[in-house]
């Protein structure tokens, strides 16, 4: 058992695996840039789905799209495996509550990147999906169950908390703690600015999503729970919504560029 554990840790620490995992940040960056572009189009009166499925669908239809989708798939899966390995090997110096918190964060990120990777893989194989319809359908299923409403409410609160954490991380520049070797001067300032704007914008978008989930749960209306695309379109329909959506769209694009840069400087 110890030999297998040592082999797994050695593989997780290998340079090749690290490079593959860093590619996952590039994939996430590309995804956020495209979502931001779609959201900006929505703010200008256009159409489209400003979520994972809509963005990946656009990438699939672009020149060289299939190759790009496979690159993103492999990167996201490698990054998910990296966070999975961190649950076991990356918390040895920690103890107590700090250790449990670190494991929970790594586990959450492993799930997030595994889901994103699976979506990339689905489209790379010629399939498709609709995030908005899936979110609404899942919400309807949960609302029909006794414990489902409580679970959905907890998810809404959880999304709100994550959104708040993103805003906090951006406003306080806490995200810089995860970076190593970031140059000083203009480059460092630019990366910090991208991260600040990007984290706050993503946090705001997640906050709107969390509110919609809670509203859908309280009113027993699953059609209001339509994922990120529904959240951004709901934002557009508010007073000054087009301006707010435009700002969030630019922020998501900034976050995407930051994620690409993060692939180089992330502590791993």
Tell me which residue range forms the domain holding 146: 2-265
Residue 76 · residue 30 · CB < 8 Å = no
What is the pLDDT, as a whole number, of residue 109? 93
**Beta carbons within 8 Å of 49's beta carbon, 6+ residues apart:** 38, 55, 57, 130, 131, 132, 229
What is the pLDDT, as a whole number, of residue 49? 87
Of the candidates 122, 112, 133, the one whose C-alpha atom is nearest the C-alpha of residue 227 is 133
What is the pLDDT, as a whole number, of residue 150? 85
What is the pLDDT, as a whole number, of residue 15? 84
Query: How many structural domains comprise the chain?
Result: 1
Each residue of 33-44: b (16+ CB within 10 Å) or e?
bbbbbbbbebbe
Of the candidates 175, 155, 21, the one whose C-alpha atom is nearest the C-alpha of residue 90 is 21
What is the pLDDT, as a whole number, of residue 4? 55
SS3 category, 45: coil
Give me the tens of pLDDT residue by residue for the chain, a chain 268 residues long: 566 555 556 666 678 889 999 999 999 999 999 999 999 999 998 888 888 888 999 999 889 999 999 999 999 999 999 999 988 887 777 777 888 888 889 999 999 999 999 999 999 998 877 666 667 677 777 777 778 778 888 988 999 999 999 999 999 999 999 898 888 888 899 999 999 999 999 999 999 888 888 888 888 777 766 778 888 888 888 888 899 999 999 999 999 999 999 999 998 8
Residue 240 · residue 47 · CB < 8 Å = no
What is the pLDDT, as a whole number, of residue 249? 94
Stretch (H or E) spanning 183: none
């Amino acid at each position: 058992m110890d030999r297998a554990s040592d082999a797994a840790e050695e593989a997780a620490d290998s340079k090749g695996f690290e490079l593959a995992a860093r590619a996952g940040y590039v994939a996430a960056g590309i995804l956020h840039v495209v979502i931001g572009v779609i959201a900006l189009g929505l703010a200008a009166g256009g159409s489209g789905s400003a979520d994972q499925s809509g963005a990946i669908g656009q990438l699939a239809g672009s020149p060289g799209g299939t190759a790009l989708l496979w690159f993103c798939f492999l990167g996201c899966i490698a990054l998910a495996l990296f966070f999975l390995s961190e649950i076991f090997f990356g918390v040895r110096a920690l103890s107590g509550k700090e250790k449990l918190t670190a494991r929970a964060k790594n586990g959450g990120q492993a799930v997030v990147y595994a889901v994103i990777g699976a979506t990339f893989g689905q489209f790379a194989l010629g399939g498709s999906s609709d995030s908005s319809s899936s979110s609404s359908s899942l919400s309807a299923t949960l609302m029909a169950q006794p414990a489902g409403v409580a679970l959905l409410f907890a998810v809404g609160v959880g999304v709100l908390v994550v959104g708040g954490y993103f805003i906090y991380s951006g406003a306080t520049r806490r995200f810089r703690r995860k970076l190593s070797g970031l140059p000083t001067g203009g480059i460092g300032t630019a990366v910090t600015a991208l991260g600040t704007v990007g984290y706050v914008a993503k946090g705001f978008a997640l906050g709107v999503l969390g509110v919609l989930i809670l509203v859908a749960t309280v009113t027993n209306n699953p059609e209001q729970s339509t994922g990120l695309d529904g959240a951004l379109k709901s934002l557009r329909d508010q007073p000054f919504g087009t301006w707010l959506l435009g700002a969030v769209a630019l922020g998501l694009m900034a976050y995407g560029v930051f994620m690409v840069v993060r692939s180089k400087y992330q502590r791993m």
